[in-house]
Amino acid sequence: MPGDIVMTGFMSGDLVRFLPEMILTAMGTLLMVLDPVIGKRRPAAFGHLTIAALAAGIAGAAAAYSHGGLAFGGMLRVDAFATFFRVLVMGVGILTALASYGFLKRQQAEAGEFHALLLFSIAGQSMMAAANDLIVIFIGLEISSISSYVLAGYLRDDKRSNEAALKYFLLGSFATAFFLYGVAVVYGTTGTINLTTVHALLAVGGSAQGTLLGVAAGLMFVGLGFKVSAAPFQLWAPDVYQGAPTPVSAFLSAGPKAAAFAVFLRIFMTAFAPLGRAWEPLVWLSALASMTIGNFAALRQTNLKRMLGYSSIAHAGYVMVALTARSDTGVAAAMFYLAAYAFMNIGAFAVVGHISGRGERRQSIDDLAGLGQTQPLTAAMLAIFLLSLIGVPLTGGFFGKFYIFRAALESQLVWLTVLGLLNTAVAAYYYLRLLVAMYFRDPADGAGEVEPLTPSFRLALILPAVGTLALGMFPSWVLDFASKSAALLK
Amino acid sequence: MSANLLPVLLLPLAGFLFALLLPRRAPELSRRFALAVSLVTFVVSLGLLARFDRTAPGEQFALDFSWIASPKIHFAISVNGVSLWLVLLSTLLTPICVLISWRSIRTRAKEFYAFLLLLEFGLIGVFLAQDLFLFYVFWEVSLVPMYFLIGIWGHERRIYAAVKFFIYTMAGSVLMLAAIVYLYNKAHTFSYAAILNQLSAGELRLDSQEQMLLFLGFFVAFAIKVPLFPLHTWLPDAHVEAPVAGSVMLASVMLKMGTYGILHYCLPLFPNAARQCSGWIATLAIVGIVYGALVAMVQPNMKKLVAYSSVSHLGFVVLGIFSFTQQGLDGAVYQMLNHGISTGALFVFVGLLYERRHSLEIADYGGVATAAPWLSTAFLVTALASIGLPTLNNFVGEFLVLQGAAIAHFTWAVWASTGVILSACYMLWLYQRVFYGVAGAEVKSRVFDLGPREWAAAIPLLVMMVWMGVYSQSFLPPVSKVTAQVLAQSEVNVPYRVGTRPRAEVARAR
């Protein structure tokens, strides 16, 4: 945190620090109003407006950062860490919106509410990123989650989409309840919900309080573990990712997850940092279990979205490794990884959404057969995303893993590192299956069905690919900022 | 005198990027373009040879740019007397591979040549890198094009082979990555030279357990690539299924990544562990020599036969390295180059036979000598070189390795020399079955003699076999300079390397 933070009573300063959320909410509401007006005539306009709102939101986040500090009596804390995640989730939003143009048109489901929900969800995540208070975190979490539940069931005529939404909603509310229990215990014990105050209390150290707060930390771990789909709370992920509309799956695997990790880091690295020794084994186990379960389950999948769902569990496991390291390097590594993961995973999901066709019928690995010949550009971009997910050098995914395992080794987590790295070799197998299908097999019958690329979709592919490669060749840009914010987090 | 290494490294990369932009419908253009790029690269690399100072032992033509600020990663490259030859081997074989693929690669030619150039870039990078991180990057980058070369243009079981190749290598290299990162956390640098300096100054201390684990982390990755028995099972599959150019690059250059890695990283960085393990590693190498040769003998498939002979030949290289003698190390490096030339040539000729008769089964041939006398002669010279006939290249390398092994442990030399005998058995028997006898109708009509383009590919290899066999002085002196240095660096029982107090402290205590 910048040293010159002053608690100001000025409303204007507070409002600037809250600018991104305000922009997104205003635009979301506007889109709802505009829906009947421009809905049928120019459906693409919703996408344009969403992207414009998100770009404005990023500018707002930058403005907020230049006026960094506490807002609303310490409920928000706008620092480099918050800004990093704000920009990240809004970037995720832009990529999702780009990938949705063609998808929504294909499913004949273009409507303003999709984009409005997307904006609301991102507003919630952006709030989570900047929250410094357990209730604000909870509010952000609820805004983000409820919009996500609806988004998951957006294709309301599709049975799978309905199932996904219902599962996500039921299990998700359970998890949120756990989190709220944790908040209640914290408040009951300490009389405060402010993270900084909790940290100060714990640092002084009262044993009775410590035990109860440990219970609270456990409850919050359950709630957040669910949101990031870390084992043993990962069961919902494959079903939801498979059933939800593909751009929504892409969004869910990157945006809410990044925000939940932001909260995870913020709570566990600040408020509960003094209890670190107690929760480290918990996270250690969860990290290993997530990587192993995710990777081994993904080996057997034939449905692309389901496979990516399991793979996202494994990737959550890698980030948990960074968390287990309990160090600034670890936090920076986690941040970098989440950024890299957002690019590569949204890109991969975008391609799946593109080839799946109307009604999302074509989702199996076999449907990728011969894509290298029928659509070389799409195939090449997917190849880049897959190589990055495997962790081949010169891609963002590689540097992400490199930083994470470096942090783990620094904290003497040798076994976790070795097991994690072996896990990445296992993971290579199922990502390679996609490359095999695209390049080593000939197009199946009816492969001509894949739609030609539209300019917006081309952009939705090239942007994440450029991002993935840029993070792989010049990682310092992002990493320096992440390191700086990680160091300031305490 | 100095020269710039960047053109040699970057020309193939530029070629790769440009080749991607060429029109898909003009395969001829892609072929010519790849040939031009690879030839220019070769000529430029000859320029390196001309300016290389053969009397100096250390790294030359060093370049160092900062790449990533935190953690400090440098784009640091240079060559020494060993890596120079390996770079030249890569640049020599790439145009040859372009030539021999001219007719056999018909589908997606543009991508094929693009991947070939990317592969060359990765391989040269591995030999030049002087930053551990950069080395790892090139190590992995070279994996990707080879995966595609096998997977797209290979034979029936290509997918299985390509995936097996990728997973094997990946599993080994992630452990190496862990070791590299561990080393970085201790030394706070990825620079190879700086780590060596810290070791010799006693600033970096590794206790014996650490050293052993780090050694194994590196060694397993290299041993998979070599491949050392029993980690060799990916190799026959990859070789048999790969297209000819893939087999040639794999055998001639890619396997050398492993042996070069052992020589350049394992020995100087972890000398005690390397010495401690030398017994069982040499045993595995000898098992590989004998086992590879025996299995080669019973192969009905020509490519598989050559692949197992590679396992056997590479066993000699590993044995030479772990004999820890000057002769053994010299022989190992020389054998690396020899194997690159002669086994590369064997794969070229097997590929030419396949192109004519569309079969790799030995049983489908016979009487080729009457149908294609020049092809037969060229094959015979190569086979004899591979066996280790004096005046041809392999003799020199095998002799030196056996000499080194004999100095270390006489029994090692005895066992290893059976490999030489067995190699005569399987090679001559192969030659007899394929080239002699009565030509079948199919062979007579199909197997025609070498064309001009094929001569252009074969002549450089044949010339090198004779040159390296007759006058090893052209090649060995710079190698010996480096191996002597490696040997000195891997001296055992120096106090700082076993994790006790560094030399400076010891001196002070006195």
Q: Is the pLDDT at B506 greater than 50, yes or no?
A: no
- pLDDT score at A3: 40
Question: Around A69, how many Cα atoms within 13 Å sit in the side-chain half-sphere?
Answer: 18
d(CA B395, CA B390): 5
Contact A394 B171 (CB under 8 A): no
Q: Where are the domains of chain A?
A: 11-488
Inter-chain touch A439–B151, beta carbons under 8 Å:
yes
| Tens-digit pLDDT profile for residues B415-449 | 988 988 899 899 999 998 888 888 777 777 777 88
SS3 content of chain B, % helix, strand, coil (to 5): 75, 5, 20
> Which one of B13, B20, B70 makes the best mutation probe of the A interface by having the most chain A beta carbons within 10 Å?
B70
The pLDDT of residue B505 is above 70: no
**What is the number of CB-based contacts under 8 A between chain A and chain B?**
79
Q: Of B156, B166, B209, which to mutate for an interface test with A (greatest number of A Cβ within 10 Å)?
A: B166
**pLDDT value, residue B121:** 93
Q: What is the distance between the alpha carbons of residues A464 and A468, in angstroms, rounded to a whole number?
A: 6
Which of A363, A364, A344, A375 lies closest to A439 in space, CA to CA? A375
* Residues B166, A432: C-beta atoms closer than 8 Å: yes
The strand pairing partners of B361, in sequence order, are: B301
Residue B507 CB neighbour total at 10 angstroms: 10
Question: Above 90 in pLDDT, residue B489?
Answer: no
The SS3 call for residue B390 is coil
For testing contact with chain B, the best of A419, A436, A474, A483 (most B CBs within 10 A): A436
Please give the share of chain B, as a percent, with pLDDT higher than 90: 32
Q: What integer pLDDT is reported at residue B290 of this predicted model?
A: 92
Nearest chain A CA: its distance from B236 CA (Å): 20
Which pLDDT belongs to residue B308?
92
pLDDT in tens, B401-419: 999 998 888 889 999 889 8
Q: What is the ipTM of this complex?
A: 0.84
pLDDT (average), residues B284-302 = 92
pTM > 0.80? yes
Q: What is the mean pLDDT of chain B?
A: 86
**Cβ within 8 Å, pair A425-B137:** no
Report how far residue A157's alpha carbon sits from residue A131's, in angstroms, rounded to the nearest whole number. Answer: 37
Strands (E), B6-116: 60-68, 73-79
Cα separations in angstroms, A336 against A287, A329, A464: 17, 10, 15
Mean pLDDT of B452-478: 89
- Show which of residues 86-125 on chain A sit within 8 Å of chain B, judged by CB atoms: none
Q: Is A299 on the interface with B (CB under 8 A)?
A: no
A373/B163 CB distance under 8 A: no
C-alpha to C-alpha distance for A81 and A61, rounded to whole angstroms: 12
Token code pair at residue A206: 């009262």
Q: What is the pLDDT of residue B497?
A: 46
Is A479 touching B (CB cutoff 8 A)?
A: yes
pLDDT (tens digit per residue) in B204-225: 788 888 888 899 999 999 999 8
- Rounded to the nearest angstrom, the minimum Cα separation between B283 and chain A is 27
* pLDDT level of residue B503 (50, 70, 90 thresholds): very low
Token pair in block for residue B331: 């022989």
pLDDT classification of B500: cutoffs 50, 70, 90: very low
Residue A477 in contact with partner chain B when CB distance is under 8 A: no
- What is the Cα–Cα distance from B405 to A8, expressed in whole angstroms? 79
Residue B495 has pLDDT above 50, yes or no: no
Residue A101, min C-alpha distance to chain B (Å): 29
Are residues A436 and B148, on separate chains, in Cβ contact within 8 Å?
no
Q: What is the mean pLDDT of each run of 10 residues along chain A (490 residues)?
A: 45 81 91 81 84 92 86 85 92 91 81 89 93 91 92 86 89 90 89 83 69 85 90 87 90 91 88 80 90 90 90 92 88 92 92 81 83 86 92 89 90 87 88 87 68 83 92 87 78
Residues A31 and B181: their CA atoms lie apart, in Å, by 50
Tens digit of pLDDT for each residue in B353-383? 888 888 888 888 888 888 888 988 999 999 9
